[in-house]
Structure 1
Amino acid sequence: MTPVLNRLPYPAQSSTPAFAPLSKPVSADSHAGSNDAIIIARHLAERLATTASERDQIGGHAAKEREWIRESGLLTLSIPKEFGGQGADWSTVYQVIRILAKADSALAHIFGFHHLQLAGIQLYGNTQQQRRLLTASAEQQFFWGNALNPLDKRTIASPGKGGYILNGVKSFSSGSVGSDWLTISAWDETTQSALVAAIPTNQPGITVQADWDAFGQKQTDSGNVHFAHVFLPDEWVLQGPAQTPTPQATLRSQIAQLVMVNLYLGIGLGAFDAARNYTNDEAKAWFASGVNASAEDPFIQHRYGQLWMLLRPAIALADQAAATLDQVFDKGVLVTANDRGELAIAIAEAKYLAHQAGIEVSSQMFELTGARSTSSRHGYDRFWRNARVHTLHDPIDYKLRDLGRYVLDGRLPEPTPYS
């Protein structure tokens, strides 16, 4: 039997909230402004930070902390007001992702990819699909996961009565463990093309395998999703096979890339703050420095200046790219291929700098904090491990290639799942 959209079972809730409300909760009714969302994100980040290092060592599924995110009200942040959400712009969503990533980049990833799936519904879905899925998401606080990876063609969609039958597996399915709904892609062998759809995670035949074992980003719930004779109704197909994506639909990959930009920035800023606090509070001055405190060492000051100048331009380009995305996204069906291409260039610029900042700051911080800062009780290595794992999502060299083509002959990137 096909589940009824507004009657899906909601995850079991404890009778006692995981924590007291984070100041005034953001709710679908209040339509809180961006400042409210930022304040709540900061409180949530503080809460996540108290256990981030310990959970990084443990790995696995952060069920309790995901409920903190749900209770904060921030899951409805990007849902348009007409569907019961808060209608925040992308600039605000990315600020929240960056704030959370400073404390816990794994859960910030899950949060960012949740909003990526909601964006996909707006970009691929028809008016009825958007209203049904987004309204139900706002009302029931659905947590969305990702199984949309067009390069992984192992999930096959076979035409059936009233829909498709899905068989196969999807890898790198971020946020799938503990999710309520998934957006998926599946390969239609008849047309040799992919379809895009939404489906409840509890649909019979779906098994989510919690087998993510990377050395960083350990709690992104990015395991494999298995499909065994899963019925996908036509009404949940957002983009059919052999359907050419519109320029508007291809914005999804740019939204995803900018999620990563702000994750890398959050990691870099988190590492910078951790190093600065350690330098001011615990580090010992080197014996040959001639100063009483590490923070007074001119070489230490010089290096902090260098690290900040990795972060500062990356922040500026990330914010500029988010503002450009807002302008393009708001055009709706009027988005042109040129709009999309110029946005891709802006995001490629931001991603390169954020990539460099995340890797370099999380690595060089130890040269400023010294041997004692490598103690496992601090867990500072998590910043580099998280940055190193996540920056391998897609090769940064291809971003530089796109930028090189653009500055040489004005060529804009071709739409792909990664550009």
Structure 2
Amino acid sequence: RDALRASGLLDLSIPTEFGGQGASWSETLRVVRELAQVDSSVAHVFAFHHLLLATVRLFGQPAQWQPWFEQTARQRWFWGNALNPLDKRTTATAYSHWYEFHGDKSFCSGATDSDMLLASAIQQGEGGKLLIAAFPSGRAGVQIRQDWDNIGQRQTDSGSVRFDHVRVEAGEVLLNPGPLSSPFACLRPLIAQLILTNLYLGIAEGALREARQYTLEQRRLWPASLAATPNKDPYTLLHYGEFFAALEGARLLTDHAAAQLDDAWRQEAQLSETARGRLAVSIAAAKVAASRSGLDLTSRMFEVTGARATTAALRLDRFWRNLRVHSLHDPLDYKLQELGDWALNGQYPIPSFYS
């Protein structure tokens, strides 16, 4: 975290007029993918930091997000996530000029060591209205728990947060335009989905790089092989050919979707439902390709590295564990269902926090 703060990359996506570097989404996501090749947990919290900045931009007013952008760039703030709209255990009680958040929230990626939190709660007495607010992580009543114990993405610290009667000021709640209120505001879930896609792709690229290095430097030739050296074994070459073809397709789909996102982001309030729908289809297709090719590669990489590569000292299993955990963020089957509805019926995915 401190290395990322010192790097200056936390203001990468912030416009230059607010002290940032003004990078496009394509540029920001390429950094995410490169980090994921080496450490997908670091890439995860870094990417979600920029997702949360985008969220306050899309759901809030300039009087809210502009000062937050400026302070993030100036103070090197790290943003953490406690939004998770599927976990409805946190409630909000409205008072005259403030709200009280109370309850628990799970899958809070990047909350540990963050400076700002983006949190959601269900407002009582308002028919289950979802409220989203941004406030300092160190506020009284915020308890960030160290209870993340999954098999992958271990350093994301995606555990739980407890809100014990936390006071949230009215100006910290993103009410206007609010969550998913327009085609432009509905870019938020698409940015999240494309972040996941780049994480999966980066993990797979990192796995391929390490597998290649091991094959070239340490792989032993199987006695039955007719090749002179391990790197000329026909079955080894076949596997690498399949890995390359699958990843190349996923890369092209992912970069195409990122270019579309850049265009949609520039349109702001002028973005149409149709343009948003086309982008959703492109991102869903890229996510399916990156998920499937990545899971296949991170599992089958041992077929080109051999039995000795399963030693715990190499930790080559980390690629599969990280990708397997992260790819369960939302079921791939439902992405395929959305793509099928588009391919068969011409129906764009219906905006939600997951599409």
TM over 0.5: yes
Distance in 2 between residues matched to 1:99 and 1:327, nearest whole Å? 23
Aligned-residue offset at 1:241: 11
CA-to-aligned-CA distance 1:23-49 (integer Å, 9 cap, x gap): xxxxxxxxxxxxxxxxxxxxxxxxxxx
Residues 1:97 and 2:22 aligned together: no
Report matched runs for 1:95-134 at 5 Å. 95-134=30-69
1:43 match: none
Which of these residues, 263, 266, 269, is aligned with residue 330 of structure 1? 266
- Which residue among 8, 11, 18 is the counterpart of 1:83? 18
State the match for 2:255 in structure 1.
319
Q: 1:220 to 1:244 in 2, by over 3 A?
A: closer
Choose the corresponding residue for 1:405, options 341, 348, 352. Answer: 341
Alpha carbons 2:180, 2:352 under 8 Å: kept: no
| Percent identity of paired positions between Structure 1 and Structure 2 | 47
- Residue 243 and residue 68 in structure 1: after superposition, are their counterparts in 2 closer, same or farther (change >3 A)? closer
- CA distance in 1 between partners of 2:178 and 2:72 (Å): 28
Q: What's the offset of the Cα at 1:243?
A: 7.1
Amino acid at match of 1:69: L
Q: Which runs of 4+ in 1 moved over 4 A?
A: 240-244
Q: CA deviation at 1:240?
A: 6.3
Kindly state the Cα deviation for residue 290 of structure 1 after the two structures are TM-superposed: 2.3
Q: Contact conserved, 1:193 with 1:242, CA < 8 A, in 2?
A: no
Residue 285 of structure 2 aligns to which amino acid in structure 1?
Answer: E
Q: Following TM superposition, by how much is the alpha carbon of 1:294 offset from its aligned partner in structure 2, in angstroms?
A: 1.0
Query: Can you list the C-alpha shifts for 1:364-399, whole angstroms capped at 9, x where unaligned?
Result: 000111000001111100001111111111000111
**3-state DSSP of counterpart to 2:301:** helix
Q: How does 1:284-295 map to 2 (within 5 A)?
A: 284-295=220-231
Do 2:100 and 2:165's aligned partners in 1 also have CA atoms closer than 8 Å? yes
Q: How far is 1:341 from its partner?
A: 1.2
- Partner SS, residue 150 of structure 1: coil
Distance 1:372 1:154 in 2: 47
Helix, strand or coil at the partner of 2:140: coil
- Relative contact order: is structure 1 or structure 2 higher (C-alpha 8 Å, sep ≥ 6)? 2
The secondary structure found in structure 2 opposite 1:367 is helix
Q: Distance in 2 between matches of 1:291 and 1:105?
A: 36
Equivalent residue for 2:236?
300
What is the aligned counterpart of 1:245 among 177, 181, 185?
181
Q: Which residue of 2 aligns with 1:273?
A: 209
Q: Counterparts of 2:103 and 2:269 in 1: how far apart (Å)?
A: 33
TM-score by structure 1 length? 0.83
* Cα separation, 2, equivalents of 1:336 and 1:183: 27
Matches of 1:312 and 1:349, distance apart in 2: 14
Report the alpha carbon displacement of residue 223 of structure 1 after superposing the two structures with TM: 1.0
Classify the secondary structure of the residue corresponding to 1:289: coil
1:380 and 2:299 are equivalent in the alignment: no
Alignment pair present for 1:67 and 2:17: no
Matches of 1:242 and 1:287, distance apart in 2: 64
Supply the distance in 2 between the matched residues of 1:156 and 1:115 (Cα, whole angstroms): 26
Instruction: Determine whether 1:394 maps to 2:338.
Output: no
**Aligned partner of 1:298: which letter?**
P
SS in 2 for 1:169: strand
CA-based RMSD: 1.2
Please show how residues 102-251 of structure 1 align to structure 2 within 5 Å.
Answer: 102-191=37-126, 192-239=128-175, 245-251=181-187
Give the counterpart letter for 1:310 in structure 2: A
Q: Is the 8 A contact 1:195 1:241 kept in 2?
A: no
| SS at structure 2 position matched to 1:260 | helix
Q: Letter of the 2:87 partner, please give it.
A: D
1: distance between equivalents of 2:65 and 2:269? 14
Deviations 1:284-329 (A, max 9, x none): 1111112232111111111100111110000000000000000001
SS at match of 2:154: coil
Once the two structures are TM-superposed, the CA of residue 175 in structure 1 deviates from its matched residue by 0.2
Q: 2:26·2:255 contact (CA, 8 Å) conserved in 1? A: yes
Distance 1:120 1:242, change over 3 A: closer
For residue 238 of structure 1, report the CA deviation from its aligned partner.
1.3
Q: Name 1:354's counterpart in structure 2.
A: 290
Letter in 2 for 1:356: R
8 A contact 1:188–1:241 mirrored in 2: no
Q: Which ranges in structure 2 are unaligned for 5 or more consecutive residues?
A: none
Question: Residue 347 of structure 1: SS of its match in structure 2?
Answer: helix
For 1:146 and 1:140, the matched residues in 2 are separated by 19
Distance of 1:342 and 1:266 partners within structure 2: 24
- Tell me the alpha carbon deviations over residues 49-90 of structure 1, each in whole angstroms, 9 at most, x when there is no partner: xxxxxxxxxxxxxxxxx1111111111000111111001000
1:210 Cα shift?
Answer: 1.3
Residues 216 and 388 of structure 1 are in contact (CA less than 8 Å); yes or no, is this contact kept in structure 2? yes
Number of aligned positions between the proteins? 354
